[in-house]
Amino acid sequence: MTTFKNAILLASLLMAGAGTAHAEPGISEKEIVLGNILPMSSSAALAGRALQIGTQLAVTEANDRGGVAGRTIVLKTEDDGYVPARTVQGLRKLIDEGVFGLLSMSGGGGSVAVLPIVEEQGIPAFASLSPVNAAVDPIKPTVFMIGASYRQLIFSQLKYIHDTRKRPDAIYGIIRQDDDFGDDVEKGFQRGINEFKIKAAEPVRFKRGQKDFGAEILKLRSDGINVLVAGGVTVETAAMLKEASKFKMDLDVATVPTMQLLPVMKLSEATEYSPLSADYVSPLGSPEAGHFESLVRKYLKEDEAAAVNRYSIVGYVAAKVMIEALRRCENELTRVCVTAKLTSGEPFDVNYLTKPISFTKERHTSATAVRVLEVDPRTKKVRALTDFAEY
């Protein structure tokens, strides 16, 4: 009788143990589910789709090597069309379907709106699409940001211009969007003019979705600027350059990373400017991006490969870090372990695509080192001018 009772007890204990072993959301015996919430429609799709392709590349590469802890990694992507209400809905759907971690949290208002839910559920998440200060200020235990903020990106270029151009009577000007992204860009601008003690024209703001910048450029032209921070999101920068080119303004131009995107370059090719840009990932075409490009050629169909841009590299990097953290937690696939491994301070190597990535409990941002780039819209080539440096 006692042995029978003991047997039942043991059996139920084992079953209970087996139950909790699979209680981690997104982890099953065969699969690990990772999620993306990205704008796959709307004008931000240029970035969203590219990032998704990048994450998928890393996942395919990992699965080809046998997966992690004997399981295949599955990627689920929710489209939010860059609408904050839908970002929240997308997250809820992923949670319902069972997701272990997030490789992206869209951008703008949506990424901030999902933070409370991510925090509540303790989901390891990367803010990878665009720098979101609210994600790491104040620090949330499971949320990490990859990439430098726009103020660092802009300041790095202003420093380069100041150090190499040495214009005797420089006047700096900026056109920026009237939201938090534009605010961040302007902060980089302000830092530049304060540190280098440069004269500056009054910042000009434009409304999101604006297509013509005649009035804005005219205003700055009447202020006599010769260095311009063109803070357009994507194609706005091209429009600004075209207007400036009309008046044959002699300008050094600093831009945000989207200047490297093919559509933006195409629209700028009629101007004579070779704008500077900056990025926290090495540009496509540089030797450091060689391995990544070989993966693109190996795994992607033609139309997918055409959609690859610097956002794909960011997605690839984020996915690699998450997968590596999972690998380091091979014996204990839980969110707690993965978060611990991420905040341990140990570096994650991503083959020089960025400087090695590491986080600690107090610092949830990484890959903040920036390279200054030169974009030539006529040859569609991007050249790195400096190596990674912190700004």
Partner 1 sequence: MRTGHFVENHGKQIALSDSEVVWSWTAVLLILCLLLPFVASGFVLTLAITIGISAIGAIGLNLLTGVTGLISLGQAGFLAAGCYTTALLITDYRWPPELALLAAGVVSGLLSLIIGVPSLRLKGIYLAITTLAFSFIVTHFLLYAEPLTHGPYGVRIQNLRFLGLNLAAPPQMYYLVLAILFLACLAFLNLMRSKVGRAFFAIRDHDIAARAMGIDLTQYKLSAFFAASFLVGIAGGLMAFQFRFVNVDLFNILLSIEALAMIIVGGLGSLSGALLGAVFIVLLPEFARTVTNLLPTHLSAAFSTHIYDVRGLLTGLAIIMTLRFEPLGLIGVWRRVSRYWLHWPLST
Partner 2 sequence: MDLFLNLLASGLISGSIYGLIAIGFAVIFRTTGVLNFAQGEVMMLVAYVSWSLATALSLPFWLLLIVTVFAATLIGAILERLFIRPMLGQPTFAIIMVTIGLAIVLRSLTVLIWGTDAEPFDTIIKGGLLTVGPVVMYSEQFAAIVLFVIAIAAVTIFYRFSRVGVAMRAMAEDETTALLMGVNVKRMSMLAWSIAATVSGLAGVTLAMISSRSSDMWVLGLRAFPGAILGGLDSVVGAGFGGILIGVIGDLSEGYIGHGLKEISGFAVVILVLMIRPYGLFGQRELERV
β-strands 371-376, 276-279 pairing: antiparallel
Query: Nearest approach, Cβ of 247 to partner 2 (angstroms)?
Result: 6
Nearer to partner 2, 79 or 288 (CB): 79
* Site residue total, partner 1 (CB under 8 A): 27
Sole binder of partner 1 in the list 69, 88, 262, 385 (CB under 8 A): 88
Task: Determine if 305 is a binding residue for partner 2 (CB under 8 A).
Answer: no
Residues, the chain: 391
Residue position matching structure tokens 């004997």: 70
- Encoded amino acid at 188, one letter: G
Confirm or reject binding of residue 117 to partner 2 (CB under 8 A): no
Q: Are 259 and 376 in contact (CB under 8 A)?
A: no
Query: 374 phi and psi, to 5 degrees?
Result: -120, 130
Burial of 1 (0-12, 13-18, 19+ CB in 10 A): exposed
Q: What are phi and psi of 227, to 5 degrees?
A: -130, 130
Interface mask toward partner 1 for 154-193; x: CB under 8 A: ------------------------xxx-xx----------
* Site for partner 1, residues 250 to 309, rule: CB under 8 A: 303
Q: Which partner from the list partner 1, partner 2, none does 369 bind, CB cut-off 5 to 8 Å by kind?
A: none
Cβ 73 vs Cβ 82: under 8 Å: no
Angle at which helices 235-246 and 214-223 cross, to 10°: 50
Q: Are 167 and 227 in contact (CB under 8 A)?
A: yes
42 in contact with partner 2 (CB under 8 A): yes
Site for partner 1 contains 93 (CB under 8 A): yes
Residues 319-349: b if buried by 16+ CB within 10 A, e if exposed: bbbbbbbbebbeeebebebbbebbbeeeebe
Task: Assess 379 for contact with partner 2 (CB under 8 A).
Answer: no
Does 308 interact with partner 2 (rule: CB under 8 A)? Answer: no
Contact set with partner 2 (CB under 8 A): 41-43, 45-46, 49, 178, 202, 204-207, 209-212, 214-216, 218-219, 222, 234-235, 238-239, 242, 246-247, 262-263, 266-267, 269-270
Contact set with partner 1 (CB under 8 A): 40-41, 49, 79, 81, 84-85, 88-89, 92-93, 95-96, 108-109, 112-113, 115-116, 120, 134, 178-180, 182-183, 303
